[in-house]
Amino acid sequence: MAANAEQIKVLICQGTGGMASGAQAVADAFEEEFSRQGVQAKIGKRCEVVGTGCRGLCANDVLVDIEIPGHEAVTYDFVKPELVPQIVEEHVLGNTPVPKKVAGPYYAKFLEKQMRVIFSRCGTINAESIEDFIAHKGFTGVEKAVKMKPEEVIEEVKRSGLRGRGGGGFPTGVKWSFCAASPGEDKYLICNADEGDPGAFMDRSVLEGDPYGVIEGMMIASYAIGCKNGYVYCRAEYPLAIKRLQKAIDTCYEKGILGKDCMGLGFEFNLRIKAGAGAFVCGEETALMASIEGHRGMSRPRPPFPAVRGLWGKPTNINNVETFANVSYIFYNGAEWFSSIGTEGTKGTKIFALTGKVKHTGLVEVPAGTTMKEVIYDVCGGILNNRKFKAVQAGGPSGGCLPAEALDAEVDYDSLIKAGAMMGSGGLVVMDETTCMVDIARFFLNFTRVESCGKCIPCRIGLKIMLEILERITHGHGQEGDIELLQDMAYDIKKSSLCGLGQTAPNPVLSTIRYFRDEYEAHINEKRCPSNSCKELLKFEVVESACKKCGLCFRICPVDAIRWEKGQLAVIDKSKCTKCTSCYDACRFMAIE
């Protein structure tokens, strides 16, 4: 972003990742250094330190941009307070970036194939400043929407092709039309920010970096469906997101943007936050509504659907954070613009959270239709330690594992379902050759079993039995017929569970059996884990032909179970070995069997 001609800007990532890495200390250091050196007096320009939202490359925090008028912005990564005086001295005052501290070419490559729409304000504006938001098209979308009839607003969203970004991908405009058509004066609008998938933090980052954008999207939706009251249901584990969103809501009330006459535009909308206790099942809309009402978060049968009988028995519309954030941009730029991005079945961009065995973890926003291979290799730099790609878990616990042969699958709703996974909210967990796919299925199934509300028997009992079978297999006690039993139970649970949690919980098991059945068979028939991951099946022996005699395993072992001398083969003392896998994880040459 080009700097204002009158000032120098220092943009500092102050999302959760940035703050955890010391962003506040870095910001304080810049303020102190500007004051100490009298920078403003020396250069005749005001210096502003701006705390922004997430920049995406979370593993490289603290990220700092220096924007000097007439010069290209320069990004620094891994910034610590002690580096600040050098940056101010050489770059801000001397107009010469500190070469060894500037983010490498991988940062430009990280951004090259992205299309940052929802994230266009995250990382570039002060997340807590309504003035910055307004300066970047803020609230022009709702001003445009209220000049149209409510049904025309819904039709615009339909024409855009926007599908809900919360997992199921239901057409947003169609969903709004159901609620709008339901009779009654009292209706409710809910933003689902109960983001519970392991490794997913897309919604959190949008709320932290652009809370006003979500509010604007909800205002447009409230006008369209004829609703006066709304909730943002956000898990309490997101304190920074809740803090910034609450500040944004309070500011909107102070300035007359929310309330009885929103912006003087003639419609009423009131908004409040409901903090959830962190139950994964409350991401399911009927359990979420039960939680808002003060009950235990448990699902109920549908129909009736929330659009007919939802919160407190009134018609209710529920979308997630990313969906509402998209709505604002549809009305900034038009339905045709939005529908020109993506694929026939999935319009617009999609945000993904990349975690696991990938070089550059973080958040990426790409046009729908970008291949999984492009996301992992071109955007995120490929596999950590240059190991071999094995699989990617797409869609969180509700999704499935895709192998190397499915890497060309496009990231859109229909392609991923066809490949045996799902878009979900957008979590991608990347796995390499050291990952056991049976154990991965066990991990995700254990997560959903623990998070199940327990209301329906297929989910409460069925997942427990499936988990016991997987645990037996990973412990070396698998039996003939276990694979077939897992498949039969998975299909039965999918058909008969009450809500989306149970209906999708078996997906990781089914997808790993589909693509990695040989690993299940090795565990059961040979009592062997091909990935050398299941501790009970590990031998822990040094492979002489592969050992480079480097001593890394010796240095990393926490219990001194490895004997080694320079230039000699390492030897593992089985009597001391605790099978912690530290040596196996550390060895780059796969010399530990």
The first and second tokens of residue 200, run together, are: 């997913």
Q: Rounded to an integer, what distance in angstroms lies between the CA atom of residue 591 and that of residue 593?
A: 6
- Choose the CATH number for 349-432 among 3.90.25.10, 3.10.20.600, 3.30.365.10, 3.40.50.150: 3.10.20.600
Residue-wise pLDDT tens for the chain (593 aa)?
A: 444 457 899 999 999 999 999 999 999 999 999 999 888 888 878 889 999 999 899 889 999 999 998 888 999 999 999 999 999 999 999 889 998 899 988 888 999 999 999 999 998 999 999 999 999 999 999 999 999 999 999 999 999 999 999 877 899 999 999 999 999 889 999 999 998 888 788 999 999 999 999 999 999 999 999 999 999 999 999 999 999 999 999 999 999 999 999 999 999 999 999 999 888 899 899 999 999 999 999 999 888 999 999 999 999 999 999 999 999 999 999 999 999 999 999 999 999 999 999 999 999 999 999 999 999 999 999 999 889 999 999 888 888 888 998 888 888 888 888 887 788 778 899 999 989 999 999 999 999 999 999 899 999 999 999 999 999 999 999 999 999 999 999 999 999 999 888 999 999 999 999 999 999 999 999 999 998 888 888 878 888 888 999 999 999 999 999 999 998 999 999 889 888 888 888 888 888 87
Helices (H) and strands (E) in the chain, counts: 25, 15
Assess contact for 145 and 153: CB atoms under 8 A.
yes
Domain boundaries, the chain: 7-104, 130-339, 349-432, 437-526, 538-593
Assess contact for 48 and 7: CB atoms under 8 A.
yes
Q: Which residues contact 482 (CB under 8 A, 6 or more apart)?
A: 469, 472, 473, 520, 524
CA 138 to the chain's CA centroid: 24
Q: Mapped to the 3 state alphabet, what secondary structure does 97-135 carry?
A: CCHHHECCHHHHHHHHCCCCCCCCCCCCCCCCCHHHHHH
Which residues are bridge partners to 49 per DSSP? 10
Instruction: Count CB atoms within 10 A of the CB of residue 85.
Output: 15
Q: Which amino acid, one-letter code, is at 109?
A: K
Q: Rounded to an integer, what distance in angstroms lies between the CA atom of residue 11 and that of residue 23?
A: 11
What b/e sequence results for 427-447 when a residue is b if at least 16 CB atoms lie within 10 Å of its CB, and e otherwise?
bbbbbbbbbbbbbbbbbbbbb
Pairing state between β 188-193 and 316-320: parallel
The first and second tokens of residue 59, run together, are: 């593993």
CATH fold for the domain made of 538-593 = Alpha-Beta Plaits (3.30.70)
Q: Rounded to an integer, what distance in angstroms lies between the CA atom of residue 537 and that of residue 531?
A: 10
- Choose the CATH number for 7-104 among 3.40.50.300, 3.40.30.10, 3.40.50.150, 1.25.10.10: 3.40.30.10
- Concatenated DSSP letters for 36-75? HHTHHHHHSSEEEEEEE---S-GGGPSPEEEE-TTS--EE
Nearest Cα to 247, choosing from 239, 458, 435? 239
Q: Which residues contact 48 (CB under 8 A, 6 or more apart)?
A: 7, 8, 9, 10
Q: What is the pLDDT of residue 419?
A: 80
The first and second tokens of residue 495, run together, are: 């058909």
Instruction: Count CB atoms within 10 A of the CB of residue 91.
Output: 21
Q: Rounded to an integer, what distance in angstroms lies between the CA atom of residue 271 and that of residue 81?
A: 39
Q: Residues, the chain, total? A: 593
- Choose the CATH number for 130-339 among 3.40.1280.10, 3.40.50.300, 3.40.50.11540, 1.25.10.10: 3.40.50.11540
Nearest Cα to 218, choosing from 270, 174, 168? 270
Q: Rounded to an integer, what distance in angstroms lies between the CA atom of residue 309 and that of residue 316?
A: 7
Supply the DSSP symbol for 228.
Answer: -
Q: Rounded to an integer, what distance in angstroms lies between the CA atom of residue 44 and that of residue 110?
A: 35
Query: Which ranges in 295-436 belong to alpha helices (H)?
Result: 321-333, 335-339, 372-373, 413-419
| In this structure, CATH architecture of domain 437-526 | Up-down Bundle (1.20)
Q: What is the pLDDT of residue 2?
A: 43
Nearest Cα to 276, choosing from 289, 265, 263, 286? 289
Assess contact for 306 and 286: CB atoms under 8 A.
yes
The first and second tokens of residue 95, run together, are: 């107009």
